[in-house]
Amino acid sequence: MLKMFAPAVGFSTVAINYVFEPKAKKQEVPSPMPITELIGKLPMVQGHSCPIRVLNRLTVVMSEASHFRPNASEYRPFDLLAVQPTTEKLFHAACMLCDVDIICILVTERLPFFFKRAPINGSIDRGVVFEVSYASALRDITMRRYTITNAVCLMESCKGKNVILSSAAEKALELRGPYDIVNLGLLFGLSDTDSKEAVTSTCRAVLLHAEARKTASGIVYTMKSQQEVLRDTADSEAPAAKRPKST
């Protein structure tokens, strides 16, 4: 029902988030379910003639550095890759080293560390974004306080750059429309411009970053256009010019 409600409020793309919190050494990463099995026929986006785009996303909760495995084959089926570091050291590693698209900011409890400009600037330079989710703030007064406090601390350090606002909603009633999210961004310390970008252009940048990340180790190849193929075929079928006989 959540995926059916999203296009009705103006969203053209949504991501199904699979949260992976390793508790054992050999714990397996969950595999994403086919979109057709979850939804069936994709609903149309309000005001557009195209269906909603549904992506699969994996969020790895890092309580140890070994919980995130670079270039793991289990990560490949997912369109987006995110990490949620729980300590300052892991946050620094996520900003500077981890090949991910999104760094999730803890919003359900008080942060155990303060944000520092050096790792945040490193993340911004690499094109990795920070994510603040708002659904938990709708469920509980205490978590609402933590969400606002942690978000404001982040905005003071990153100056509102490379930030996205997401729902992390578990049911349709927790989902808000784009204009409501922009107003929430103002509450989190974003400017009006940065708040709008947090639900539009920065989200598109995340998708482009994910595409670039997945193809970084691919093979570059070229294909001839149809005109070039026809020209080469005509050249090969043309009779060769006669060479003059030598005397």
pTM: 0.80
Instruction: Give the pLDDT confidence score for residue 21 in this predicted structure.
Output: 87
Instruction: Give the pLDDT confidence score for residue 240 in this predicted structure.
Output: 46
Instruction: Give the pLDDT confidence score for residue 221 in this predicted structure.
Output: 46
Instruction: Give the pLDDT confidence score for residue 17 in this predicted structure.
Output: 92
Under 8 Å between Cβ of 188 and 165: yes
172, 243, 155, 160: which is closest to 198 by C-alpha?
160
Euclidean distance between CA atoms 210 and 215, whole angstroms? 9
Instruction: Give the pLDDT confidence score for residue 31 in this predicted structure.
Output: 87
Structural tokens at position 180:
């409501």
Pick among 3.90.550.10, 3.40.50.20, 3.30.1130.10, 3.20.20.140: CATH of 57-214: 3.20.20.140
Instruction: Give the pLDDT confidence score for residue 42 in this predicted structure.
Output: 74
Instruction: Give the pLDDT confidence score for residue 2 in this predicted structure.
Output: 52
| Backbone φ and ψ of 109, nearest 5° | -155, 170
Amino acid identity for residue 117 in this structure: R
Domain ranges of the chain: 57-214
Low-confidence ranges of the chain (pLDDT < 70): 1-10, 24-26, 47, 216-247
